[in-house]
Structure 1
Amino acid sequence: MNIGIVGLGLIGGSIALDLRSRGFNIVGVSSRQQTCDRAIARGVVNDASIHLSLMATADLVFICTPLSAIEPIVQKLIPHLSPDAIVTDVGSVKTPIVDAVSALWPNFVGGHPMAGTAESGIEAAVRDLFVGRPYVVTPTAQTPAQSVEKVEEIARLLGASVYRCGPQEHDRAVAWISHLPIMASATLVAACDREGDRDIVNLAQNLASSGFRDTSRVGGGNPELGVMVAKYNREQLLRSLSIYRDSLDELMGDIQAEDWQALEQKLKLTQQAREHYNL
């Protein structure tokens, strides 16, 4: 089976590494010739090019580009695809992508491997990135069943735990556990930086340790990613931010009223609830 990867960064490169090690023929496309050359030199792919025509032999194509590029890439890719080719993506928002791309190529299966690191680019590609991590597949009623099963089969070969749900359900869930944390983390850093006394800010920066590091990490990531998830998952992100704001107001109310019993009860409930998340 020939696997095509469009976008040879962390995710695309890591998928390629794992699948090539399992005997698949991997062809990759990048916008930069330097990336193509490096992907071949590292053994990430069998062949690579800056031209989408390389995808003509692919049975399954992964689109591993930023969200904003997925639809335009598929439009340019279609003339080069074989009629039976399956196209899937790795975008972190599904509803607008599935709607747009399925209209262009009916044999499209929305996907979202939920794994990553703070690094980017072809040098960041690593083996076993997806082992034990969720891989969400988001078909619609019109998605060919055999194509869905093939994408899920490949996801399991990557060692991932496969989940199937609708695009809307996916977006509502990831708004809570992925997109809201980006915004909450970013506003934490922004709030700290609003402290009027710069000496206090400097002291806080020097004292910051694991707690601040962990809670601020995703807010200090790629700004383009934050803008893209806000743009493409706007409705669900706003919904989660509104409920989050209400929760903050409740905590502030308990502290202002010195209602320590109510505050402790809330913190006990969050301590218990956290255990149910796949951390």
Structure 2
Amino acid sequence: MKIGIIGLGLIGGSLALDLTNLGYHVIGVSRQLKTCNQAIERSIVSQASTEFDILAQTEVIFICTPIGSILITLERIIKHLPPDVIITDVGSVKGSIVPQATELWANFVGAHPMAGTANQGIEAVEANLFKNAPCVITPLENTSTKNVERVKNIWHEVGCKIYETTPEIHDRAVAWISHLPVMISANLINSCINHENQEVVNMAKKLASSGFKDTSRVGGGNPELGLMMAQYNKEQLLNSLKEYQQNLSLIINDIETEKWENLEHLLTKTNQERPNFL
């Protein structure tokens, strides 16, 4: 099988490398010729080009671009393809992508592999990035079951744990466990650096250790990705932020009124529940 991958950064490149190692003929497309050459030299792909027409010989295509470029890319490539090609994506938001993509191309299957590192670009590509990572498939009612199974099988081959749900449920869930943490973490960093007493800020920087490192990691990540999360999953992210704000107000009230039993109950509950999310 010949598989096309558009976007040879961390996700697309790592997927290409794993599929190449599994024996697939992988055809990569990147905006930069330099990236294409690197991908061939490192045996990440079998072929690579800056032009979409190279994808005409593929059976399945993965769009591994930033969220904001998925639909634009889809519109640009479909004129080069036979009608039976399956197209899928890796975007972290599905509700604003899958319905429109399916209107453009009936053989579209939404997908979201939840893997990655803080690094970017083809230099960040690594083998087995998706091993034991969740991958959510988000078909619509009219999505071909055969196409869904084919996409599932490919992600399973690179090591993913496969889940299936609707685009709406996906977006609600990732708002809580992915998009909301980015905003909370970013606000933690922002609040620290904007403290009115610079001496406190300087000392905080010196004392920051594993706790601050863990809670600030996602807030110090790729700004473009965080912005797109907010833009393309706006409604669900706002709902999560508002509910979080309400819960935070309860904690503030418990501390102000010294309701230590309530706080202890909360901390005991979160201590017990956290492993269920990991």
The residue number in structure 2 matching 1:13 is: 13
Percent identity reads 51
Query: Secondary structure at 2:271's aligned position in 1?
Result: helix
Distance 1:76 1:95 in 2: 21
Shift of 1:250: 0.6
Query: Secondary structure at 1:271's aligned position in 2?
Result: helix
1:58, 1:82 within 8 Å by CA — same for their partners in 2? no
Query: Secondary structure at 1:275's aligned position in 2?
Result: helix
Distance 1:120 1:226 in 2: 14
Distance 1:211 1:60 in 2: 43
- Number of aligned residue pairs: 278
Shift of 1:158: 0.7
1:2, 1:25 within 8 Å by CA — same for their partners in 2? yes
2:99, 2:140 within 8 Å by CA — same for their partners in 1? no
The residue identity in structure 2 corresponding to 1:130 is: F
Distance 2:57 2:234 in 1: 37
* Gaps in structure 2 of 5+ consecutive residues: none
The residue identity in structure 2 corresponding to 1:75 is: E
Deviation track 1:105-153 (CA, whole Å, cap 9, x = no partner) reads: 0100000000000001011111110110100000011111110000000
Distance 1:82 1:3 in 2: 14
Displaced runs of 4 or more, over 4 A: none
Q: Within the alignment, does 1:162 sit opposite 2:162 as a pair?
A: yes
The residue identity in structure 1 corresponding to 2:254 is: D
Distance 1:273 1:243 in 2: 18
The residue number in structure 2 matching 1:237 is: 237
1:115, 1:129 within 8 Å by CA — same for their partners in 2? yes
Deviation track 1:188-239 (CA, whole Å, cap 9, x = no partner) reads: 1111112111111011001111110110010011111111011110110000
The residue number in structure 1 matching 2:78 is: 78
The residue number in structure 1 matching 2:51 is: 51
Tell which deviates more after alignment, 254-263 or 172-181.
254-263
The residue identity in structure 2 corresponding to 1:59 is: E
RMSD of the TM alignment (CA)?
0.6
Alignment of 1:1-279 (within 5 A): 1-277=1-277, 279=278
Query: Secondary structure at 2:97's aligned position in 1?
Result: helix
Give the TM-score of the pair, scaled to structure 2. Answer: 0.99
* Gaps in structure 1 of 5+ consecutive residues: none
The residue identity in structure 1 corresponding to 2:248 is: L
Query: Secondary structure at 2:61's aligned position in 1?
Result: strand
Distance 1:141 1:199 in 2: 58
Distance 1:223 1:99 in 2: 26
The residue identity in structure 1 corresponding to 2:183 is: M
